[in-house]
Structure 1
Amino acid sequence: MVLVTRFGKPDYFVTMTCSPHWEEITSQLFPGQTPQDRPELVARVYRAKLRDLHDFLIKKSHLGEVTSYAHVTEFQKRGLPHEHFLLIMAPNSKLSSPDDYNKVISGEIPDPIKYPVLHALVIKHMLHGSYGALNKNCPCMIDGHCRFRYPRQFCSATQQGKDSYPIYRRREDGRRVATRGAVLDNRWVVPYNPTLVMRYNCHINVEVCSSIKAVKYLYKYVYKGHDRASFSVDPQDQNGTIINEIRQYRDARFITPPEAVYRIFGFPLYAVSPSVLQLQLHLPNMQLVSYRATDNLNDVVNREKSKRSMLTEYFKMNLVDSKARKLLYKEFPEHFRWIKSDKRWQARVKRPQVGRIVYANPAEGERYYLHVLLNHVRGATSYENLRTVHGKTCSTFRDACEMIGLVETDRSLDECLAESTTFHMPCALRRLFTTIIVFCEATNIRGLWENHFEAMSQDYRCTHNDAAMVEQLVLRDIRNVVHSMGKDVRNYGLPEVDDSGDVLA
C-alpha cells in the first residue's frame, strides 16, 4: 500500500492463466501423455511466457510507461498457475476517460470476417467459464447467481461503474457464437486486450482500476495466500461414538504438482518494483539486537553496531547532511541506501526504493506517538530533538504530539484507522477500533464510529442487505471484544446492541 501512497492507485489489473494447449507444451509430450503428466514442462513454459509478458508490459511499455508494479503467481486447486499484475502508470500513460478505455480493452466478440484469428482466440479463451446461469452446477454459481455477475448487461458505451470498475462497452450487434452446448453473445465476454490475447494465446483478462475504492480489494486478491485443505488423519468411526473433529482434521496447505515443481526450480513467486524497505521503529535503547548463542552478552551490549539502527542512524545523518534534514523518515530510502552489514545510510545513486515505517498500534502508547511524530516531523537529530516543540522539550512523545496539534480532536486515532483500512480486513479493523475506544482516551468515539463504520462492516455488507442488521452484527462483535477486556460497551456512547434472535439470525 505504500506504493499507492507514493505513486497513486493501480491503473491496470492483468491476469494471465497458463494454457495446457500451448504449442510449446503439446509439442514436447510423449505419445499418450497429457499436460498433467508433465508438471515440470508446464512450469518451465509458463515461466518463460511470464517473463516475456513482464518485459512486454514493463520494459516495452505495451500499455504505457509503468512507474510501479506488483505481480504474484498463484496456483489453484486444479493445478495450473496464473499471474496477477497490478500496474501503476506514469502520468502521461494514465487512462483519463471511458473513451481511453475502449482503445485498450474490449468486452465484445470481434468481427469473424475482419479479425478471424482474434475471433477464434476470444471464443476459445475469453468467454466466461461454464456459462454461469446457463449451468446451475457451475462452481461460480452461489444461491442461483453467478458471483462474477455473468451475463453482464448490454451497454452502448463504456461507463464508470458503481463498484470501482468500468462498465465496458458491450453492444447488441447481433453476434452470437455456439460453443460447448450454449449460444453466447457479448454479455459473456471477459474484458481483454486484443494484442495480449493474440500474442499469448491464453486467457488473459485486463481490467481498468478506475477508482481508489478497488485498491484494497485488488491487493488482498493478489496477496491472499495459499489454498488450504482439510484432510482426515483418523478413519471414520463406525460405532456411533462421538467423533473428535479437532483430532480428525488438520489445516494444511494444498500444493499441486506444478507448484511443487515451480518451487523446486526456485522460480520467484512474486515481484514488486520499486522495492519497499521496512523502516525500524523503536523507543530509545529498545532496538532489536541479533547475536549468536555462544556470544558473551556483555560484549553484545557494548558492541558499537548493537547501538545502531535505521532510526538512530537517521538521526545521525540529519546532524551532518543538510539535504537529509528536508526528508521525513519514510522518505529517507528514496534518497539514501541502508547498508545492512555496516548499519549505516549511504547516498543513493540508482535503484529507487520506497520506505515504510513499521506499523504501531495505539495500545502501544509511546511507541505509537513516536510513529506519529516521525510521519510529520522532518530533520529530527535525536529522540530529545523530536520531543522538542518551539524550544520546549516535552517529557513524552504524546505531549509533543499534543503540543504540535497532531492528536487534537482525535485526529491521530482517526488517521490510524484510516491507514489500517488500506490493508486490514474488517474483522481486524473492528478489533483495532475496540482497542482505541478502550485504551486511547478518545473524546469523540461516536465520530470515529461514523467515519469508519463502512470499512468495519464491509464483510457483513457482502452477505446482508439489511443496513440495520449489518450495524447490529458489527456492534455485537465490538461488544464481545470489549467484554473480553472486562469493560462495558455501554460506557462508550455507541448505538445499543439488539440481542434478539430475529436481528442477529
Structure 2
Amino acid sequence: MAGIDGDPDFVSIREYYAYKLQMRNDDESFLLHFGRLFQQYVVDMYVKLESQRLDYLRTQQEEFRKEFLQGIVDSIGTGEVWAANVGQRVFLQASFIGGPRNMRRKYIDAMTLVQKFGKPDIFLTMTCNPNWPEIKEHLLPTEEAQNRPDLVVRVFRAKLEELKNELLKKNIFGEVAAYTYVIEFQKRGLPHVHFLLILKPQHKMFIPDEYDKIVSAEIPDKTKYPHLYRMVKKHMMHGPCGVLNPSNVCMTKHGCCKNSYPKEYSEHTIQTLDSYPLYRRRNNGVKIKVRKQKLDNTWVVPHNAYLLAKFNCHINVEICSTIQAVKYIYKYICKGHDRISFHINSDNPNNQIDEIQQYQAARWVSPPEAVWRLFRFSMGEIKPAIIHLQLHLPNF
C-alpha cells in the first residue's frame, strides 16, 4: 500500500486505522467485535486524527490571511466586542471540514445554485436503517448493529450511491439541473443525508396533480401493495404524539408536536403560497396499529412509494418549489453536526479568542461519524461545482 506522498515506508494516521478497520474473511482479529469498547476505540482514534490536524493549524496561524479580522468594522460583524482582541484570534480556516466557516461556505455555495438555476424542487431525507439485511447478515449471532459502526456506515454509503444513481442517472423525478447533499449524524449515531434537487425547466412541477405522482401521504392498500404497506407501517408513521403520547420526543413545552402532527384531512393536494403543499390525506377509514395506537392518514410522513419500497428505510420526500424563502432550507442542511454551545466571558482584555479550542470543546462525535471520517467518505457534494474567486485587498 502506498503511504504518505507515495512512500511505502510510511502511512498517515487515517490510512493506518482505515486499514485496521477493514473486514477480512481470513483475519482472526477480534477488534471489530469488542462491542461498546469498539465504539469508544473508533471515536478515540478519530479524535486523535482530528487533534493532529487542528494542532497543525494552530502552529500555522502566521501563514493564514487574516486581514478581515484586523478591521474594526469586520471584527464587530463577527461578534467581537473587545477592541483589544482585534487581530488576536486563533483562526480555524474554512478548509477544515466540519468547522463553522466550512459549513457557512457550503451554505453560500448552495445558495449560489439558486442564483443560477432557481429554487429547489425536491427536498429528500434518507436515514440509515440498522435492520437492513445487508447489515444483519454480517453480524455475529450475539452482535448488535450499534456495536458495528464500520458495517453500518459502509452499507449506508452503498445505499447512498444507489440513491444517487436513481435520482441523478435514472432521473426518476425528472432530469436534474443542479443538486447538493450533506451527510449528518444523529446523536444516537445513525447517519442520514439531506438532498436538495433543482430540476430542469421542462421537468419542473407546477400543479398538485404532478405532486401526487411523486409524493404520497396516505396508507397504501394492504391487499394490492402488501410490501409497500409494511414499509409505510414500519418507517413512515409519525408518533404517536399529542394526546396519544404526551411524552413523545417531538413534543414541545407547549404540548404541541413540533412537526405539526397529526395533519388535517384533505381530499386533494393543495398548493400553498409559501410552505410545503398540503398533501392528499383522505378520510377513508384506513388505520394502522403503531406502538399500541391506531393511526390513520393524518400521521403518514410524505414519501415516494418507489424509493420507500426499494430502500426499506425512513425516506422523506417533500415538494419545495413553492417555498419563497428557500434560504432556511439551505441553512437547515448546512447547519453542521450536533454540538454544545457555551461561552464564558472574561474581563481580561488580553484574553485571546481561540476558535480551535471552541470547536473542540463543543464537538459531538459519534462512532459512525468517526468511522465515516476515517474511511474518508464524502461529507457532501454540490454540482455543478462552485468556484471561489479570491479577493485581493490593496497593500497586502
Tell me the TM-score normalised to structure 1 length: 0.52
| Structure 2 residue corresponding to 1:98, chosen from 208, 228, 233 | 208
Distance 1:96 1:165 in 2: 13
Given residue 72 of structure 1, which amino acid in structure 2 is its aligned partner?
V
Question: Given that residues 133 and 141 in structure 1 are in contact (C-alpha distance below 8 angstroms), is that contact kept between their aligned partners in structure 2?
Answer: no
| 1:264 lines up with 2:371 in the alignment | no
| Residue of structure 2 equivalent to 1:87 | 197
1:175 aligns with 2:286: yes
Return 5+ residue gaps in structure 1 as ranges: 232-249, 288-505
Q: Against the structure 1 CA distance between its residues 286 and 276, is the aligned structure 2 distance closer, same or farther, given a 3 Å change threshold?
A: farther
Alignment of 1:5-404 (within 5 A): 5-142=115-252, 143-229=254-340, 251-283=361-393, 285-286=394-395
- Aligned-partner Cα distance in 2 for 1:80–1:16: 11
- From the superposition, tell whether residues 139 and 94 of structure 1 become closer, same or farther in structure 2 (CA, over 3 Å): same
Q: Which residue of 1 aligns with 2:8?
A: none
How many Å apart are 1:229 and its aligned residue? 3.3
Would the aligned equivalents of 1:107 and 1:191 in 2 still touch at CA under 8 Å?
Answer: yes
Residues 110 and 286 from structure 1, CA distance in 2 versus in 1: closer, same or farther, beyond 3 angstroms? farther
Q: Which residue identity is paired with 1:91? A: P
Contact 1:25 1:42 in 2 (8 A): yes
- Deviation per CA, 1:402-440, whole angstroms, max 9, x where unpaired? xxxxxxxxxxxxxxxxxxxxxxxxxxxxxxxxxxxxxxx
Higher relative CO (Cα under 8 Å, sequence separation at least 6) belongs to: 2
CA distance in 2, matches of 1:162, 1:150: 20
Does the CA-based 8 Å contact 1:15-1:84 persist in structure 2? yes
- Matched letter for residue 120 of structure 2: P
Counterpart Cα distance in 1 of 2:126 and 2:293: 25
CA apart distance, 1:286: 4.4
Question: Which whole-Å deviations, capped at 9, do the CAs of 1:207-228 have from their partners, x for residues lacking one?
Answer: 0013242411110111001101
- Counterpart of 1:32, as a letter, is T
- What are the superposed Cα offsets for residues 183-203 of structure 1, whole Å, 9 maximum, x if unpaired? 100000000000000110000
Coordinate RMSD, CA, aligned: 1.6
- 8 Å Cα contact 1:19-1:203 kept in structure 2: yes
SS of 1:83's partner is: strand
| SS of structure 1 residue aligned to 2:388 | strand
Are 2:114 and 1:4 equivalent residues in the alignment? Answer: yes
Report the CA distance shift for 1:251/1:210 in structure 2 as closer, same or farther (over 3 A). same
Distance 1:132 1:47 in 2: 35
Contact 1:164 1:209 in 2 (8 A): yes
State the shift of 1:180 in Å. 1.2
SS in 2 for 1:275: coil
Residues 62-106 of structure 1: per-residue CA shift (max 9 Å, x gap):
111001000000001011000000000001111111110001110
TM-score of the superposition, structure 2-length normalised? Answer: 0.66
Unaligned 5+ segments in structure 2 are 1-110, 343-359
Q: Distance in 1 between matches of 2:323 and 2:395?
A: 37
Instruction: After superposition, give the CA deviation of every residue in 1:230-281 in whole Å (9 maximum; x if it has no partner).
Output: 79xxxxxxxxxxxxxxxxxx94211110000000000001000001111123
What SS does the corresponding residue of 1:268 show, helix, strand or coil? Answer: coil
SS across alignment from 1:36: helix
TM-superposition CA deviations, 1:107-136 (whole Å, max 9, x none): 100010111110111110001145354211
Structure 1's 153 and 212: CA in aligned 2 closer, same or farther, altered over 3 A? closer
Q: What letter corresponds to residue 304 of structure 2 in structure 1?
A: N
Decide whether the 8 Å contact of 1:133 with 1:145 is kept in 2.
no
CA distance in 2, matches of 1:132, 1:72: 31
Distance between the aligned counterparts of 2:273 and 2:114, measured in 1?
21
SS in 2 for 1:44: helix
- CA drift of 1:10 comes to 0.3
> Residues 123, 222 of structure 1: CA spacing in aligned structure 2 closer, same or farther, 3 A cutoff?
same
Alpha-carbon offset, residue 32 of structure 1: 1.0
What SS is found at the alignment partner of 2:386? Answer: strand
CA contact (8 A) 2:286 2:297 kept: yes
Work out the CA distance in 1 between the residues paired with 2:174 and 2:300: 24
| 2:317 partner SS | strand
Structure with higher strand content: 1
C-alpha spacing 1:133/1:80, structure 2 compared with 1 (3 Å): farther
1:87 is paired with a residue whose SS is strand
Q: In structure 2, do the counterparts of structure 1 residues 2 and 116 end up closer, same or farther at CA, with 3 Å as the change threshold? A: same
**1:486 corresponds to:** none
Listed one character per residue, the Cα deviations across residues 345-381 of structure 1 (whole Å, up to 9, x for unaligned) are xxxxxxxxxxxxxxxxxxxxxxxxxxxxxxxxxxxxx
**How far is the alpha carbon of 1:139 from its aligned partner?**
1.4
- Name the aligned partner's letter for residue 295 of structure 2: L
CA distance in 2 between counterparts of 1:28 and 1:131 reads 35
Give the AA of the match of 2:374.
Answer: I
Structure 1 distance, partners of 2:270, 2:323, is: 16
Which letter does structure 2 place at the counterpart of 1:35?
A
Quote the Cα distance in structure 1 between the aligned partners of 2:194 and 2:395: 39
Quote how far apart the aligned CAs of 1:59 are.
Answer: 1.2
